[in-house]
Amino acid sequence: MAPLDIDWIATAALAAWVGWAGPKSFKPAIGLCLLIAFLGWAASYLIMALAPSLGGDTTVAEDYLNGFSVRNAAAEMAVALAWTFLWFGLARVAGMVIERGHKRAT
C-alpha cells in the first residue's frame, strides 16, 4: 500500500464517521469536514516528506514536494474536499435511510 493510500483511507473514515455519528446540524458537520479535508491535504505532504525514511521511493517524494505551487495546492485541496464530502454524504444518507426504516417499523 502506498503511503498516500493510508491518508486517503483515514480521510474517508473520518468523513464517514462525521456523516454517521457526527452532529445533526449541518454547520458543525460541514466545518468538521472542511477541517478533515485540510488536515488530510496537509498530511499528504508530511507523509511524502517521511516516505523515503519509511522505505518509499525518494524520486516520487522529491517530485511531489518540489511540485508544490498555489495552483497545484488549490487543485489538491479541491480533490480532498470532494473526497471528504463524498464519504460524509454517503454516511449521512445511509444514516437517514436506516433511521427512517426504524421510524416506520414502530
| CB-CB neighbours of 93 under 10 Å | 11
* High-pLDDT (> 90) share of the chain, %: 50
Q: Given a cut of 60, is residue 1 above it in pLDDT?
A: no
Longest dimension (CA), the chain: 60
The model's pTM is: 0.82
For 66-82, what is the mean pLDDT? 92
Please write the tens of the pLDDT for every residue from 30-64: 999 999 999 999 998 888 888 777 667 788 888 88
Give the DSSP letter string of 8-71.
HHHHHHHHHHHHHHS-SSHHHHHHHHHHHHHHHHHHHHHHHHHGGGGT--HHHHHHHHHT--HH
Q: Quote the pLDDT of residue 31.
A: 94
State the distance between the two ends of the chain, measured CA to CA, in whole angstroms. 45
H-run or E-run covering 86: helix 70-105
Stretch 70-81: mean pLDDT: 93
